[in-house]
Structures are given as C-alpha cells and as structure tokens.
Chains A and B, each alone.
Chain A
Amino acid sequence: DAGITQSPRHKVTETGTPVTLRCHQTENHRYMYWYRQDPGHGLRLIHYSYGVKDTDKGEVSDGYSVSRSKTEDFLLTLESATSSQTSVYFCAISESLSANYGYTFGSGTRLTVV
C-alpha cells in the first residue's frame, strides 16, 4: 500500500556531499522515525518526530539532521556524507504511543557513499 513512501529508493553519492532522504506518509500519523539497518547491528534509531517541528535525537544521530515542516513529510539529511553512512535507511510511522497501535515501515532507501 502507499501509506508511506521513501525516496529515492537507491542512491550513490560521493563522500563530503550533502544528501537528503524523504519519507512521505498519507496516514496523518503523528509519529515518524528514521532508522538505519546495518549487518550485525539490526535497526537503530537515528531521529524521530512527535509532531510538526518536534523532533529529537536517537541512538545514532551524529552526522544526521531532520526536519518536519508538514505532518506528511519527514526529511533526513546527511550534512556531509561519509562511507560509514553507507546503509539501508528505513522510515516508520505510528499513530499513537499506545500499545494498541503498531508501526508501518517504508520500503527503505539503499544509500552508498563512495
């Protein structure tokens, strides 16, 4: 379903360049998350948002910034890409913090920094 989409799906970029990944949702969910997935580490939280212009850092936030100017869009920016940021990035959304609400994940963005 198209409730959450990530763009681009794949990107190759050079070290030192800025990169922005986009997460777009059509569900009007309050909470949005950016995770990175690396072999041997599982998924780790980069940044999250609990409302428009309300964001906070996660476990691995160094080198990343985010913005949420509209409910539907959550942007992740790598200010100056490094090879250690080569990863698969997943966006997720959730309607509520209640235990009765689950999470929906995007299809992922595979980023390669060369």
Chain B
Amino acid sequence: KNEVEQSPQNLTAQEGEFITINCSYSVGISALHWLQQHPGGGIVSLFMLSSGKKKHGRLIATINIQEKHSSLHITASHPRDSAVYICAVSYSGGGADGLTFGKGTHLIIQP
C-alpha cells in the first residue's frame, strides 16, 4: 500500500512569506494531487501532477518522480491562504479505488 507523508503537519507564518509544503510517497503513482480545505469547508482540487511543475496564480506545485517527492509552494502568502493542504496520490496500477491521502498540513498565515 502506498504511504503518503506530508511535512510539516502544522505551519504558522507571517503574511508575505514564501511557503513550502512537502509530500513524499512510497510506490509508483500515476498522478499526485494537491487539495485545499478551508475550516469547516469542502475540499477543492488545486493541482494534479504526473511530472514537472504547474503554476496557478501564487501557487506552484512540483513533482520529482525519481525521488517520489512533491512540493507545494505559495508565494506572497496571504491570510486567506490559511487552510489545510492535502496531498493525495493515485496508483500506477490503474485500479478504481481512488486516492490515498496524506494527513494534511494545517497552514495559518497571520496578518
């Protein structure tokens, strides 16, 4: 079974700081997903990656397949970025059993 580890578990930063959240996994995957969940809220898909790098606004996601590692970066962080960020992977075996999730990183951006 694929294990998905995220670090840090909790992160508090000041507005404007550059944020990095890391995700590592243990076996081959077909894709890695970064998700965002605001307190009491639903889950929103931010990125889906199978290689390289993607950027959307102030968010950047990278993946290194050889090292089985992905990072989510937030530039010029803002209090509205405060949320739980969840890494999830889908297996390369192509089974229908969905995603395996990390436990999430709780991010707080203070004004």
Query: A: which residues have CB within 8 A of B?
Result: 31, 33, 35, 40-45, 48, 50, 56, 58, 90, 92, 94, 97-99, 102-108
- A-facing residues in B82-111 (Cβ within 8 Å): 86, 88, 90, 94-99, 101-104
With A42-B86, A99-B50, A105-B45 given, is the CB distance from A50 to B96 under 8 Å? Answer: yes
Q: How far is the CB of B102 from chain A (nearest CB, A)?
A: 6
The secondary structure that dominates the A interface is: strand
Q: Which residue of B lies closest to A104 (CB)?
A: B45
Count A-B contacts at CB 8 Å. 64
Query: B: which residues have CB within 8 A of A?
Result: 30-31, 33, 35, 41-45, 48, 50, 86, 88, 90, 94-99, 101-104
The secondary structure that dominates the B interface is: strand
Q: Could you give 19 example pairs across A and B, Cβ below 8 Å?
A: A35-B98, A35-B101, A40-B103, A42-B101, A43-B86, A43-B88, A43-B99, A45-B99, A48-B98, A50-B96, A56-B97, A58-B98, A94-B98, A97-B94, A99-B50, A102-B48, A105-B43, A106-B42, A108-B43
